[in-house]
Structure 1
């Protein structure tokens, strides 16, 4: 079963025919909202809005463990997550879409494992390749069928948020090898790995990161909204093709 997690700018899928919704009780508390069960182009899919239906949950307060547990409990084995980012590398301009293949975690204080020694013994999982190569290839195929450009590969720096970064922090992330910056990629990716769920991310670039491009002297949130309105239309087309290919 394929699960789609929507982030900033994607709290619902207009092309999803909803057949049911259910709020799942989990050992880790409540997820961000009800799971939406439905069909897209005749294929089943489960959708979850990461920040809640009204985008009321900030990145650091998302109950990532409950979200991932709830999806797995309903049979989800593969997840494509949408995660908005700021572009650090010069090729990642606003309105481009990228599928990262690596991640660096700068977050703190988030519940980032199911194996915390409380209800499950400590376990060290391999996280060398944090994203599913199978799902990355599927996203690239979908982009070709949707006739949408997609940047293949990049390093996602996951920061704590909810504030945006300073120019000096972005310089540091770039020195570390990051090409984009976001706030929700972790611990979502590692929790999926612990549950043996294949996971990939589609990342629309909403803005230049601080100190880059037209963000040299600051970032205007209204500009981000305008870019996302245009870019999410393309992301929805891409997801539709992902669902179709996955269904076959």
Structure 2
């Protein structure tokens, strides 16, 4: 075994379904040994990045209300779909730029089963909530390019939570994550009629990108290298 590899400390497959035609692992948990100083380099990292628990933290809004900020997990699929159902149709249109009423299973699964190496989504939930437990009050995400140099952002706050500073808190947190990750730029597309999101972007330091067309979509970006 190459010296840069890290070994498996434990493997738990449960449940394991078996019948006459074969065996299917319905769930599995793998724990790897702690990295030594010798192995703390990029080549020693797992092919699938583990859940980044270090980004779990309490947050407080302007009205002092307390929430837990944490990365999204596959177990959050149902709660995310319920959050979308709780949003007004116009808020969903401004976020996704198309009319939308609900998340089908395939879409909700795509937004919760993410590759933490190239994508991050942070959600706001009630303090003490277990993984997969709702409700979700807001979600922000960035998706990086293959070189992990620039990333596109998107944010959605549940309609009844708007105006309390949650959007600003979520965006600030994801920008902190982008800086720690070493991204050089974060960018996004915002409908020009979405004046609230445009103001939020300006408050966070985003600048409009030059454009020669008269599109209904504004392109904004933030240089993190400055």
Which structure is higher in strand share?
A: 2
Query: Which structure: larger Rg?
Result: 2
Q: TM-score with structure 2 length normalisation?
A: 0.29
Q: Larger RCO: Structure 1 or Structure 2 (Cα < 8 Å, ≥ 6 residues apart)?
A: 1
